[in-house]
Structure formats: structure tokens, C-alpha cells
């Protein structure tokens, strides 16, 4: 039930005269503190990302939760915790990046993220934490998500993810969902740093131009002329890894 070691479970039952509910609370209070103290300070560079989208597509959450090892990061206890964080973040009244103090108080199925975190630390025995949590809303569009490298059929958690907003009137919801998923898949694959070409800083453009000029200088004349022409007329299309459009 708790995922805690058998020794801790026996001690918890002894301290609470065999009352299972009280023993669970005892484990959260003492076991989590003990486990947290033991793992405190250890690097947590692994983990998963997860999404949660409302049924009407008007709000969505995207979270990143860290663990110490890849093995623990793919355990069912960790996957359940990551999805819990995503579901709880979806309930936030605030949008944008949520601060840690607000985040830990959010609930899903009457359980706060703080409580779920304590239970996960007891079960997994690793330093865990919510690295980031984002809540998005849409007034006129529909939010669609895609998770790459899903680790479970029962959770929207994996190695990377994207959420896109599509706006359009009189469009079949199935068409929006399909187009949104494909667009989100493209974003996950391309990993763009900017939303539009106009958002790309001039110094980044200058750097890319310098790289292209260097590539052109090493090409045969006929190929170089084609590249120069292409570069002059389509400079923005040479930045697929920098912007979405």
C-alpha cells in the first residue's frame, strides 16, 4: 500500500497499535522525513515530463519531475507521482510557470502534491522533486498535447512533450486533435527555441548566416551558387531548429 520497506511498515503498525490508516499517516510523517534526510543533497538529473489536458481542451498542464536514476524514473510509483503532479497542476487557478510554494498545495483526488511527493520518496528512496510546472489556458482555441517516449499506457508521461494551441471556427474536433498531435510531434522532434522567425535575435541570425557562408565557401561553384540564391531568398527557412514557423 505505502511502498515503504517492510521494517518501516512493522514499526509504523507498532507505533499505532495496528491501525492501518494511522500507520499510513505515521509513515508519511516519519518515513518521509527519514527518507528525505537520507536522500537530501543527492543529484536528481533523471526523470520524466507529463501532460494533462482538460476535456474541453481549454486548459492544460506540462510538468517536469526529477529523480536520481533512470531506473527509478520509470517505476510505476514514480510514473503515478508524475501524472499526479500534472493532474494537480491542471487545477491551478493561476496560469504560467507556478512557484513551488503554490504548486505543493495543489490537489488531485483530494491529495496534495506535497503528500504525494512524501509518499513517493518513501516508496522509491530517491531524491525526487518537481523541476517545473506550467499551466496553460486558451480562450478561443483548443489545446492538444503529445508525449514522446511514453513509459505507461495509463499515464501521459514520457521523455519529452509539447502542447500546442489551434484556433479555428467550425472545424471538426477530431481534425483539430489529429492536426494538433502532428504539430506537437514535429515540435518535439525539431526542439525549436523560438515561436516565430521574427522572435529570433539578430545575433543568432548573424551566426547562422556565418555558418551558411562557411558551408558555401567549401562547395563546388555550381552548388554554391544554388545555395547562395536559396539563402538570399529564404533566410528564415534555414532556421528549422530555431523557430516553429
CB crowding 50-86: b at 16 or more within 10 Å, else e: bbbbeeebbbbbbbbbbbbeeebbbbebbbbbbbbbb
The CA-based dihedral angle spanning residues 189, 75, 43, 38, taken in that order and rounded to the nearest 10 degrees: 170
Residue 80 confidence (pLDDT) above 50: yes
pLDDT, greater one: 130 or 2: 130
pLDDT, greater one: 243 or 25: 25
End-to-end C-alpha distance for the chain, whole angstroms = 49
What's residue 44's pLDDT? 47
At 148 the three-state DSSP class reads strand
Helix extents (H) in the chain: 6-15, 20-26, 32-39, 70-73, 76-90, 100-103, 113-124, 173-190, 202-217, 221-233
Residue 107 confidence (pLDDT) above 90: yes
Predicted model pTM: 0.72
What's residue 218's pLDDT? 73
Averaged pLDDT for residues 85-95: 95
CA count, 13 A, side-chain hemisphere, 75: 20
Other Cβ atoms less than 10 A from the Cβ of 152: the count is: 15
Confidence of residue 41 (pLDDT cuts 50, 70, 90): very low
Gap between the Cα atoms of 240 and 121, Å rounded = 40
If you search the block for the grid coordinates 528525505, which residue do you land on? 36
Residue 25 confidence (pLDDT) above 80: no
Residues 6+ apart with CB under 8 A from 19: 13
Residue 38 confidence (pLDDT) above 50: no
pLDDT in tens, 204-235: 888 888 887 787 777 666 555 555 555 554 54
For residue 85, give the C-alpha cell. Answer: 503532479
Whole-number Cα distances in Å, 224 to 211, 233, 240: 13, 14, 20
Which is nearest to 88 in space by CA: 104, 64, 75? Answer: 104
For residue 232, give the C-alpha cell. Answer: 538570399
What's residue 52's pLDDT? 97
pLDDT in tens, 147-186: 999 999 889 999 999 999 999 888 898 999 999 999 999 9
Averaged pLDDT for residues 141-146: 95
Residue 45 confidence (pLDDT) above 80: no
Amino acid at each position: 500500500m505505502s511502498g515503504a520497506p517492510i521494517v518501516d511498515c512493522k514499526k509504523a503498525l507498532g507505533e499505532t497499535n495496528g491501525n492501518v490508516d494511522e500507520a499510513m499517516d505515521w509513515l508519511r510523517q516519519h518515513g518521509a522525513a527519514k527518507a528525505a534526510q537520507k536522500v537530501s543533497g543527492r543529484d536528481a538529473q533523471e526523470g520524466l515530463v507529463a501532460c494533462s489536458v482538460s476535456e474541453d481542451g481549454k486548459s492544460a498542464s506540462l510538468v517536469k519531475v526529477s529523480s536520481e536514476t533512470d531506473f527509478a524514473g520509470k517505476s510505476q510509483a514514480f510514473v503515478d507521482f508524475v501524472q499526479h503532479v500534472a493532474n494537480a497542476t491542471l487545477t491551478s487557478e493561476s496560469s504560467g510557470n507556478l512557484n513551488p510554494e503554490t504548486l505543493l498545495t495543489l490537489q488531485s483526488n483530494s491529495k496534495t502534491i506535497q503528500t504525494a511527493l512524501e509518499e513517493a520518496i518513501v516508496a522509491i528512496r530517491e531524491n525526487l522533486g518537481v523541476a517545473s510546472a506550467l499551466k496553460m489556458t486558451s480562450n478561443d482555441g483548443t489545446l492538444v498535447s503529445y508525449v514522446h517516449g511514453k513509459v505507461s499506457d495509463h499515464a501521459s508521461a514520457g521523455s519529452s512533450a509539447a502542447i500546442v494551441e489551434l484556433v479555428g471556427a467550425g472545424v471538426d474536433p477530431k481534425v483539430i486533435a489529429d492536426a494538433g498531435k502532428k504539430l506537437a510531434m514535429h515540435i518535439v522532434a525539431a526542439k525549436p527555441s523560438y515561436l516565430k522567425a521574427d522572435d529570433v535575435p539578430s545575433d543568432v541570425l548573424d551566426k547562422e548566416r556565418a555558418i551558411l557562408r562557411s558551408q558555401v565557401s567549401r562547395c563546388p561553384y555550381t552548388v554554391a551558387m544554388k545555395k547562395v540564391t536559396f539563402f538570399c531568398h529564404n533566410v528564415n527557412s534555414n532556421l528549422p531548429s530555431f523557430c516553429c514557423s
